[in-house]
Chain A
Amino acid sequence: MAVLSFVEVSQGKIKKASVEAAYYGSKVAEGLGTDSIAVVLGTASAEELATLGTVGVKKVLHASDARFNNFDSKAFTKAVSEAANGAGATVVVLSFNQNGKLLAPRICVRLKAAYVPGAVELPVFNGASATVKKNVFSGKATAEYQLNTEKKVIAVNPNSLSPVRGAGAAAVETFAPEMADTDFASVVKGADLIVGEIPLSEAELVVSAGRGMKGPENWGPIEELAKLLGAATACSRAVADVDWRPHHEHVGQTGLTIRPNLYIAVGISGAIQHLAGVNGSKVIVVINTDPEAPFFKAADYGIIGDAAVVVPKLIEEFKKQKAAH
């Protein structure tokens, strides 16, 4: 028996979302009285992988085959499943991030395992079955998923659990799954990364703005506030649709779903479709001129006022606070 977490590397570095998955895996292993093992596919240094020991991983199975440097759901499914079978894993943990959202359902089919997509808490075991909580109806409710099979796959929502780092280094072992060239179905032609900005899906702090800004020329203070806080910028669908802001910034039902620690929404009314993308945020601040804006009902802190006045003041106050600490 063991718990296996799938840890993604990008340019040789472990992804933040995967550290959370590994930590979650270690917590599950601790509860079951078994070992936390991780599997890593692609190029990474042994030193980097050994750091998984700080979140409780005992052993890392590392397949350094360079073909894994590009993600292919079919090849990765085969390799992770082989690692799970080899390690006798009863629970496989992944991040519910971009690649995990596709990989996890494939692995569950391959292993004939029950699967919970987007777990927000640790599972509760009851004999051979387990229940895990997840958000449903775009964050309007939660559901307890009971996993009925011996093998279980859990994809954990980013930012659900803050990893506590301890001491320790994981042992890194070579893992050589049997892969044919035909297993790798995708040929990567290139990537288009937004440089100089914090990726929205990974950001802990987000400053977001909407139609209340009155025009794309008024985004200066929003960007300044984000930069000051080390936050990512986001926007509502309405302003992405009229090209005031790029589409990759759009959060909501049909855009990105994010779960930052702090979400500051400026000039966004908070329609249910927008809330669906952000209501997993730990703390929500709403700044809006309209006291009836539905967003205030979902907010922790609110300021009724004009963005053009409030945001520059907020920048000054944060600068003062930074200087004082």
Chain B
Amino acid sequence: MKNIILRTATAYLIPLLLLFSVFLLLRGHYHPGGGFVGGLVASIAFVLHGFAFKMQNTLRLMKFHPSKFIPVGLSVSIISSILPMFFKKPVMTGLWLNKPLPILGNVGTSLFFDIGVYLVVIGVTLNILFTISDSGQQ
């Protein structure tokens, strides 16, 4: 698919979509959004790139295979949920910084949990899509 319009649009859309996905992720605790949707939107960004420039180039752009997101995301989530144990609190208790950070607002373990979800979703979606498209082309 050599579509000049799609390619040009994609080049502009990808940063926007990625930014939007992070925006969704971070606002999730207070407004509609969250790790799951954010992850899906980020995957869509990469899939769009794949359509415009072929999946191989997307993989090259990403520097490493998307399946690597999965263990990283899972570890972030699991660590954030067992972290309270080290503060003598039950697992999955929310721990929060005392002062809100600029731009991000309140930062707590649940944010990191959501970041883990975000990464896992990107990893899972892209892994499945790339694998299927790969075997489709063979």
A binds B: no
A interface residue numbers (CB < 8 A to B): none
B interface residue numbers (CB < 8 A to A): none
